[in-house]
Amino acid sequence: MAGIVKAIDIAVPVEVAFDFVANPQNGLKFMPNFTKFQSVGPLDRGKGAKVEAAGTMFGVQYKTTLEIIEFEPNRKFVSRSTEGVKSTSTWQFKPNADGGTEVTFASDYTLPGSFLGRLMDKLVMEREIEKNTVQTLVNLKKVLEGRPNLQAVQ
């Protein structure tokens, strides 16, 4: 299993950042490579809520269903994929000294396939997933702070 952890400071209160990220209707506003991010089932958010997600990576389309397995308002939530690429993702929110929020995204994932597939994951996919994670956090900062020209550091 491979993993990635990235964090960013965003100049909005924890409640604002958490509410925005925990709302699946906002997913396409800040997550690159996704073409669908939609609630399914009776819950929109909170433990037990499910989201159907789809996107493209390296020109290959993928889809998955994510289920929220932990939900602590204004602190963190954790999702696990129930089909497609196996992953567990955690969003954490901590107030910082200036009244903003440190947002941390962590993901553990396993790609299907053989040893060769896992080797390719280590060599290629990890870099792409890291790049997408950084871009996700930069996009989130752009949206929440109203800074449309902000760019990810390459």
Is the model's pLDDT at 119 over the cut of 80? no
Quickly state the pLDDT bin for 153 (edges 50, 70, 90). low
* 3-state SS track over 10-45: ECCCHHHHHHHHHCHHHHHHHCCCEEEEEEECCCCC
Give the model's pLDDT for residue 27. Answer: 94
Residue extents of the structural domains in the chain: 2-145
- Mean pLDDT calculated for residue range 47-65: 87
Q: Predicted confidence band at 103 (pLDDT cuts at 50, 70, 90)?
A: very high
Please give the CATH number for the structural domain made up of 2-145: 3.30.530.20
Say if residue 113's pLDDT is above 60: no
Per-residue pLDDT averaged across 124-138, rounded?
86
Q: Locate 149 and state its tokens.
A: 């020209």
Predicted pLDDT at 78: 98
Q: Which residues contact 80 (CB under 8 A, 6 or more apart)?
A: 66, 67, 69, 87, 88, 89
Closest to 32 in 3D by CA, of 53, 17, 13: 53
pLDDT of residue 7: 97
pTM: 0.87
Q: Which two tokens stand for residue 59?
A: 């020109």
Read off the pLDDT of each residue in 56-70 and give the average, rounded to a whole number: 86
Secondary structure letter of residue 129 according to DSSP: H
